[in-house]
């Protein structure tokens, strides 16, 4: 469907698990790239993370020299989003030590490997290898996040690290730490936001906190929190529309576009 749209000259912006298409496999990626070039159309994928968070990291690194390593950390309690369909493939609530669980998580979050490519591209390099490490934390008591109960001793925390390797050395890292409660072992901490760490001259540490715009925080509902998540996912691709329409055809990432931001209301 994507190839048909691009082949007919329709530009695409998407937050549907697409950044550069590499995790879809060489055949699918080539089909999309060739269709875009044939139709003179462009596809661009983002979202908050992976996506906009990598742009944020690339910009942060621009204030320093001799960059050696850039890390982006998403660290959050996701209990309010427990029932969301995008949680289904992560294996929340599985017994500890379930065979194949780490491999299943790696497949489910493969788009973060493409985020590694995007960040590396912003830094002017191409990675030789992408490595994934998955760890789990387990509930110390029975938990009841909305729509996804978790028994004590079962998986209630997932920690995923995707690294980009150049000449045998990790240069970029996307680190996701998701928990369903603070009642877990190991007792992981979460930042409740996005953290960028740049090892360079000088070192840079940047924290992105996201807050509701409502003044009365006590009135916030689960739906309000969902709306925040949907906003920060959708707005980066909507704001990119003009730049995508002006871009060269084929697959394009933040490394190919001017800096994307919002206009003053």
Distance CA 29, CA 198 (A): 31
In-domain check, residue 27: yes
Q: Are residues 37 and 104 in the same domain?
A: no
Q: Are residues 12 and 53 in the same domain?
A: no
Q: Are residues 39 and 94 in the same domain?
A: no
For residue range 17-49, what is the model confidence (pLDDT) as tens digits? 899 999 999 999 999 999 999 999 999 999 999
In-domain check, residue 22: yes
Distance CA 203, CA 108 (A): 32
For residue range 94-151, what is the model confidence (pLDDT) as tens digits? 999 999 999 999 999 999 999 999 999 999 999 999 999 999 999 999 999 999 999 9
In-domain check, residue 229: no
Domain limits at 121? Answer: 48-208
Q: Are residues 82 and 183 in the same domain?
A: yes
In-domain check, residue 196: yes
In-domain check, residue 31: yes
Buried b / exposed e over 101-116, threshold 16 CB at 10 Å, is bbebbbebbbbbbbbb
Q: Are residues 104 and 139 in the same domain?
A: yes
User: In the chain, how many domains are there?
Assistant: 2
In-domain check, residue 64: yes
In-domain check, residue 10: yes
In-domain check, residue 264: no
Q: Are residues 128 and 179 in the same domain?
A: yes
Q: Are residues 194 and 87 in the same domain?
A: yes
Q: Token pair of 77, please?
A: 């309690």
Q: What is the pLDDT of residue 265?
A: 81
For residue range 227-259, what is the model confidence (pLDDT) as tens digits? 998 999 999 999 999 999 999 999 999 999 999
**Residue 144, CA distances (Å) to 79, 101, 157, 244 in order:** 9, 21, 14, 43
Q: Are residues 154 and 59 in the same domain?
A: yes
Label residue 218 by pLDDT band (50, 70, 90): confident
Q: Are residues 93 and 191 in the same domain?
A: yes
> Which position has the higher pLDDT, 262 or 214?
262
Label residue 225 by pLDDT band (50, 70, 90): confident
Q: Are residues 42 and 94 in the same domain?
A: no
Q: Are residues 12 and 74 in the same domain?
A: no
Q: Are residues 81 and 187 in the same domain?
A: yes
């Amino acid at each position: 469907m994507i190839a048909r749209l691009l082949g007919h000259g329709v530009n695409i912006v998407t937050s549907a698990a697409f950044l550069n298409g590499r995790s879809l496999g060489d055949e699918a990626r080539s089909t999309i790239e060739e269709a875009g070039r044939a139709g003179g159309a462009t596809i661009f994928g983002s979202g908050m993370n992976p996506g906009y968070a990598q742009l944020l990291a690339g910009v942060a690194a621009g204030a320093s020299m001799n960059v050696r390593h850039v890390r982006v950390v998403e660290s959050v309690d996701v209990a309010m989003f427990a029932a969301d369909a995008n949680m289904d493939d992560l294996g929340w609530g599985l017994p500890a030590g379930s065979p194949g669980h780490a491999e299943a998580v790696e497949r489910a979050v493969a788009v973060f490997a493409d985020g590694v490519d995007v960040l590396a591209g912003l830094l002017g390099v191409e990675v030789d290898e992408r490595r994934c490490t998955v760890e789990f934390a387990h509930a110390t008591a029975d938990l009841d996040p909305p729509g996804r109960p978790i028994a004590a001793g079962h998986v209630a925390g997932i920690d995923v690290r995707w690294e980009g390797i150049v000449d045998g050395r990790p240069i970029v890292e996307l680190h996701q730490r998701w928990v369903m409660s603070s009642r877990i072992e190991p007792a992981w901490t979460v930042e409740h936001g996005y953290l960028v760490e740049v090892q360079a001259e000088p070192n840079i540490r940047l924290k992105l906190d996201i807050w509701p715009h409502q003044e009365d925080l006590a009135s916030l509902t689960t739906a309000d929190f969902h709306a925040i998540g949907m906003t920060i996912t959708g707005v980066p691709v909507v704001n990119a529309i003009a730049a995508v329409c002006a871009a060269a055809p084929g697959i394009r990432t933040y490394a190919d576009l001017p800096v994307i931001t919002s206009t003053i209301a």
